[in-house]
Amino acid sequence: MEASTWTVGLAVVLLFIVYCWRKCSYWSSRGVPSNSVFRNFYIYLHMIFKRTKPFWHFLNETYHENEGNNFVGAYEIFKPSLIVRDPGLVKRIMIQDFDHFSERRTFGNSKKDECFREMLFLINGSHWKGVRSIMSPTFTSGRMRQMYHLVEEKADALIERLQRHCQEKSFVKTKTIYARYVMDVIGTCAFGIECNSINNEEEEFCKKASELNAISARGILRGIALLTLPNSVLNAIGISFTTPPFLFFQRVVEETIKNREMGVKRGDFLDLLLEQREEQSNSNTKTPKYPIKDSTIVAQSVLFLIVGHETTAGTMAFVSYYLARNPHLQHRLRQELRDIVEEHGTLTYQTIMEAPFLDAIFSGDEQLLNFLDIFLFFLFYLLILLEV
C-alpha cells in the first residue's frame, strides 16, 4: 500500500513536471529566445517566499540579458507574453498596427468582480470608448479648477503637520507623510470624505489603502490562482480580485453616492461623475449608448486611489530628495514661485500651470520623473513657506 502511494505520488509529480515543461516551451518551440523553465520557477518561488526583489526587477534582468534580440519571450505562470526591445517594433505596435493590439487582457471574471471589471484600464473595445467618453470631461482644466480648493485645504494641513513635526523630531519620513497627504486628497476628491490621515495615524481609510496596495505571499498565491484556474473553479472556491479592502472602498463610495443624491454637493470628482449621469438622464437628451451605472462610478473612484496613492507619494519623496541634493535648483524654483506670489498675491491653478521652470521639472527636462501636477505643486508651495 505504501509503495503504491509513493508510485502514485511520483507519477503525479512527473506529470506535473512534464505539463510545466510543455507550457514553458511555447517560445523555444517557435525559435524565440526566452527564459528557461527553471528560471521561471525560480522567479515565482522567489516572489512567494522571499520577495526581496519586485517582479519588474526580473523583467528588467530578462530585458538586458537579451541585448541584440528584437524581442524575448517571457511567462506569467504558464501564460506566454512577449517583451519587445526594438524601438521600431514598439512604434509599429503602438502606432501603425495599433488596431491589432488595442485590446487589453481581461481580469476579474468571478461573479464578485462586477465592479472591478468596470475599471477603465480593464475594459475593451466599444465599452472602453464609452467609459472613456464619460471620464474625459472630468479631467479638463476647468473641472480641475473646481477641485483646486479641495487640494489646497489638504496642502495647508500638510504644512501645519510638517511644521509641528520639525519641532518634535530632527528628521521626516517623507514617503510616509506624503502618502497620508495624498490619501487625504484622494479621499476628499474621489470619495468625498474627510479622513484626516495626516494628523490621525490610526485612520481606517489610510490603513485600508495600504492593504489594497500591499504585496504579500497570500496575495501572490491568489494572483497565481486567478491567472491559472478556470472561472468555474474560481467561483466554486470563492477567489476573486475583489478583496476586503476593495469592498471597503466600494461601500464608502456607494454610501457617498446615496448622500449626494439627497442634495449634498462638494464639487469633487464624484460630483462630476454624478453630474454626467444626471445629464444622461435628462429627458431632453437622447438615450445614452453607455449609461453610467453605480458600479462604473465606484470602479473609477477606486481606480483613482489605486493609481494615484503610492505613485504620487513616492514621486513626492523622490522630488524632495532631489531638490535637497541640488540646492541651486531648489533656490531657482523657489524664486520663480515667490515671483508668482509677489505678482498675483498667491499661487493659483492657472499661475502654477504657467510657471516655466516648474513645467520644466514636470516635463523631465531636469532629469526628474513625470508626475501629477495637481498634487505635487503644493510641495513647492511648501518649500516657499518653510524655506527648507
What is each CA distance from 12 to 3, 15, 19, 39, in whole angstroms?
14, 5, 10, 22
Q: What is the 3-state secondary structure (H, E, C) of 86-130?
A: CHHHHHHHHHHCHHHCCCCCCCCCCHHHCCHHHCHHHCCHHHHHH
Q: What is the pLDDT of residues 365-386, one digit of tens each?
A: 444 444 444 444 444 444 444 4
Supply the pLDDT for residue 378: 46
Whether the full predicted model's pTM is greater than 0.85, yes or no, is no
Q: What is the pLDDT of residues 133-180, one digit of tens each?
A: 777 777 777 777 777 888 888 888 888 888 888 888 777 788 888 888
The position carrying cell 516635463 is 363
Residue type, 98: F
What is the rounded average pLDDT of the residues 350-354? Answer: 84
Q: What is the pLDDT of residues 218-276, one digit of tens each?
A: 766 777 676 666 666 667 767 777 778 888 888 888 888 888 877 777 767 777 788 77
Percentage of the residues of the chain whose pLDDT score is greater than 90: 1
Q: Which residue has the higher pLDDT, 259 or 335?
A: 335
Q: What is the 3-state secondary structure (H, E, C) of 62-93?
A: HHHHCCCCCEEEEEECCEEEEEECCHHHHHHH
Q: Which residue has the higher pLDDT, 324 or 56?
A: 324
pLDDT greater than 50 at residue 121:
yes
Supply the pLDDT for residue 128: 80
Q: What is the pLDDT of residues 169-224, one digit of tens each?
A: 777 788 888 888 888 888 887 777 778 888 877 777 777 777 777 766 676 677 76
Residues 6+ apart with CB under 8 A from 179: 206, 210, 309, 310, 313
Compute the mean pLDDT over every residue in the chain, rounded to the nearest whole number.
Answer: 76
Residue 284 banded pLDDT, cuts 50, 70, 90: low
The position carrying cell 512567494 is 48
Residue 109 banded pLDDT, cuts 50, 70, 90: low
Supply the pLDDT for residue 313: 83
Supply the pLDDT for residue 320: 80
Supply the pLDDT for residue 204: 78
Supply the pLDDT for residue 228: 67
C-alpha angle with apex 158: 155 to 159, nearest 5 degrees?
90
What is the rounded average pLDDT of the residues 105-132? Answer: 75
Supply the pLDDT for residue 186: 83
Residue 364 banded pLDDT, cuts 50, 70, 90: low
What is the rounded average pLDDT of the residues 276-287? Answer: 69
Residue 323 banded pLDDT, cuts 50, 70, 90: confident
Supply the pLDDT for residue 367: 47
Classified as helix, coil or strand, 244 is helix
